[in-house]
Amino acid sequence: MRDEMVEVLLPEQQIQVRLDELGRQIRADYAGKELTVVAILTGTVMFAADLLRRIPGPLRLDYIGLSSYHGTTKSTGELVVTKSLKLDVRDRDVLLVDDILDTGQTLVKARQMMEALWPRTLKSCVFLEKEVPHVGNVSADYVGFKIPDKFVIGYGLDYQERYRNLPYLATLSLKTPAPKAP
């Protein structure tokens, strides 16, 4: 199989400008409050790091691991918890941060996990929201970008653990070689 990027959907500069806007909005919404950010591994690392730099003031950070792709380009529908939360979020203002809202299963599961820990408030922020129906019409409180239903890589998102380090977001075309003649 040969992988090739097809098109850059979001250049680095456009991502950074949108992060400035999200940071201002979140700062305003949580003014005077200590925020607890819970980022969902692994695709969220770059987005969370860049976003948190734009939210000055006291905050706490932890990660949970939830995975549903398992090396494929489509969600398997089966969520696996790969890392548990260490921080106590009881009576805290919690912001869940995820890379992409696709089927919605990850966000639903993460919210259920957080709600069971009794936070004072719980909101969510996603870097990307695919323009597809989501499980139970789940939505995020803060959305970086809405994108078409394409498989994307870069800025933390991967294909088989590759391409996360790209500073932009691109689509990936998976070409399969023609069958060999007998």
Would you name the residues annotated as active-site residues?
A: 102
Rounded Cα distance between 138 and 128, Å, is: 14
Run of H or E including 49: helix 45-52
Nearest residue to 113 via CA among 76, 65, 69: 65
Nearest residue to 38 via CA among 101, 100, 92, 104: 92
Compute the C-alpha angle 177/178/182, nearest 5°. Answer: 125
Scanning the structure block, which residue is given the tokens 């932009």?
168
Phi, psi of 148, deg, nearest 5? -70, 170
